[in-house]
Amino acid sequence: MTAATCPSVPVALDETRGMLLGLAGVAIFSLTIPFTRMAVAELDPLFVALGRALGASLLAAAWLAWKRAALPPRSALWPLAVVAAGCIVGFPLLTSIALRTLPASHGAVLVGVLPLATALYAALRGHERPSRGFWWMALLGSSLVAAFALLQSGGTLHLADLLMFGAVAVGAVGYAEGGRLSRTMGGQEVICWALVLSSPVVALLLWLDGPHIGALAQVGALAWTGFGYVTVFSMFIGFFFWYRGMALGGVARVGQVQLVQPFLSLAGAAVLLGEALSLANCLFALAVIGVVFLGRRMGVRR
C-alpha cells in the first residue's frame, strides 16, 4: 500500500496540523496572564472578566453575520453553554480576581496543570482513551509545574492559588467540550456562538457591576492595553486556532501543547511587566518541553 492510499497518512497530517494550530493558540493564550495582570492593576477584576467577554461577543456576532453562519443545532446548545461557563465566564473571572494579588509569573505556572485537567475530563467523558504512557507524561509534566508553583510560594498555597486551580478546572471543561464540538461545528463557530449566546447574561452582570464604571475615565493606557489584548486575542482570535487544532489532533494530544504555555507566559511577564526570569524558570521550561515531546509520541485512541 502506498503512502497516498495508506489511511494513517492523512491522520498523521491532521495530527501535525492540529499540533501546529494548537501551538499558535497557546502562543496567543500565553500572554493572557501578563496582560490580565496589567489590566487588573487599575480595572476592577469583574469588569475585566465580563467586559472582555462582552467585547469579544460583538466581534463574534460580526463574524457570524459576515460568514452567514447557520444557527447551531439544538444538540449543541448544552456543550456551548459549558464552553461559555468555563472559558468565557469562569476562567477569566477567577484568574482576574487571583491576579490582583498574584504575580503574573506565579499565576502562569499554576495554569500549567491545564493539559492534565483537559485530558482527564475528555477521558471521563469517554471521548478519548489515552495510553498509559501518555498519562505518565501528563502526570510528569503537571507534577513539574506544581512543584515549581510550590517552590515559588514558599511551600504553601494561598487563596489566590486556589482560585487559579479553580480557573484551571472550569477552563479544562470548556476546552474539552469545545474541542469535541469543533469536530462537527468548526472551531470558529463554537467560540463565536458560545460568546453570542452568553452575551445577554454577561451584559446583565456587567450592568449590575455599574458602580465601578464611573471610574473608567481615570484608568491609564497600560491597563486599557491589557484589557484590549484579552478581549480581542485571548477571548476571540486565540480560540480560532485552539479549537481547530483540537478538532484535528484530538483534545488530549493537542492539550499537551499547553504544557509550554506557563513558560511562554513567564517570558511575556518578564518583557511586559519586568518580572524576573531566573535560571530555575529556564530549567523547568526545558524539562516541560521535553515532556511535551515525549507525550506527543504516545498513543491516544479517539
Mean pLDDT value across the chain: 83
The model's confidence at residue 2, banded by pLDDT at 50, 70 and 90, is very low
Q: Taking 70 as the threshold, does the pLDDT of residue 52 lie above it?
A: yes
Is residue 88 within 8 Å of 195, Cβ to Cβ? yes
pLDDT of residue 249: 82
DSSP code, position 136? H
- State pLDDT tens for residues 24-39: 999 999 999 999 999 9
- State pLDDT tens for residues 83-114: 999 999 999 999 999 998 888 877 877 787 78
Q: Taking 70 as the threshold, does the pLDDT of residue 9 lie above it?
A: no
Mean pLDDT confidence for 149-169: 79
pLDDT of residue 1: 46
The three-class DSSP label of residue 299 is coil
pLDDT of residue 131: 77
Is residue 98 within 8 Å of 163, Cβ to Cβ? yes
Every domain of the chain and the residues it spans:
8-209+216-301
Mean pLDDT confidence for 106-123: 77
Q: Which residue has the cell 492559588?
A: 161
Q: Which of 93, 241, 98 is nearest to 161 (CA)?
A: 98
Helix axes 32-40, 91-98, angle to 10 degrees: 60
Helix axes 32-40, 261-273, angle to 10 degrees: 40
Q: Taking 80 as the threshold, does the pLDDT of residue 234 lie above it?
A: yes
Q: Taking 60 as the threshold, does the pLDDT of residue 300 lie above it?
A: no
Cell numbers describing residue 208: 449590575
Measured CA to CA, the distance from residue 241 to residue 157 in angstroms comes to 33
Q: Taking 60 as the threshold, does the pLDDT of residue 299 lie above it?
A: no
pLDDT of residue 79: 92
